[in-house]
A and B are shown apart, each in its own frame.
Chain A
């Protein structure tokens, strides 16, 4: 039986390297055969306290393909949360209706708290700017699938490296393997020193750049992120830097054959649509992989794998 049975997944650091690999291995099985109704008598509650299209549908698709019943809400406006019910009481109540909670909530730390209140396991589907561990696991899955390994890779991270939670989690997770990080961002959106410290602590190297073209010939993976307008207090500053991290098809000349482009989505204009037609674009398959990874997590946590 998996060590993941009955566990919560709140932060990517809640699992160790072996556990990441276990999830990825189980997910591979679901990619080969997605329709495995092995959890027919189980109920998964998806509690979305803020809107999310991809993550919610991906979790619900995963649960449905496992044969689970899904209940929950995607708009807290239609629930007793609107009447002022505390998160504590909502979670207590849902614990008696379901076998597993999947929660997204804009308040940071809410998922950790929910896991302490709930009598059933909790998977964090995003708690504000804090953590979104299933995104990180599907990123790992996509990297391993496209490169055949997670070891000895050159990973380029582009865009908002300061606030992008997916970037921070991915760096933390990839520090378990021999990774070289190539960081491309505007000066204002550089990777925080605490995250750089974890790279150094792992005995790994990182290099910083201002232009995407500097990493094109080096990278095995280019992980693009959106430079979000709402991150800037000074909108003039945003206007000045917003175009500095845009990837277009002509820029890909000279890249490695094995190079693949990932993006947590949604994208706005940081990857132009001409890139979609190149063999290097992998972001839509990456989103698809999210379903297999979430199937693997639900199955392992509920003890079916």
Chain B
């Protein structure tokens, strides 16, 4: 007899599923996508069984679609996340996030002497090493790394 696998986090009719999130990064992803203030259903699952990751997180956002650019920020902290667009319970599109070449006004410069930490200036970075996550500030030319990364709240 065929058994249907029960979904731990319920399916959504329309919206976006963000899957394969490292379990420790789930709430950071929520924050990066600004979902704290989203006025519709957001279903969050953490520490779920995953064949690929061992344990994973998943976020399902009802009635919301993201552009590749919008979710590319997520790749900075969770490089192997899958983004699935759902319409009428069907998968319409599925893609893996990619670390962008440039980011603006999203990360704080780790250099305390950088002008962006003194004046109201949108920060700008070039991502010079995607594998080890190394970002070069457009202004002070110093590097921000995985260890020193801080998001603009």
Residues of A whose CB lies within 8 Å of any CB of B are: 11, 86-88, 105-110, 112-113, 127-131, 194
Contacts and interface: CB of A to CB of B under 8 A. Distances in A.
A86 B119 CA distance: 7
Give the bracket for the number of chain B residues in contact with chain A: 10 to 19
Contacts of B111: 108
B25 interface: no
6 contacts: A108-B142, A109-B114, A109-B116, A113-B116, A128-B140, A130-B140
A297 B97 CA distance: 45
Interface of B: 109, 111, 113-116, 118-121, 137-143
Contacts of A128: 113, 140
Contact of B119 (A87, A106, A129, A131): A87
B51 to A, nearest CB: 39
Nearest to A105: B115
B33 to A, nearest CB: 28
Contacts of B143: 194
B118 A107 contact: yes
A99 B134 CA distance: 38
Nearest to B134: A194
A128 B114 CA distance: 9
A194 B119 CA distance: 28
A106 B113 contact: yes
A112 B136 CA distance: 14
Contacts of B109: 109
A87 B115 CA distance: 9
A66 B65 CA distance: 60
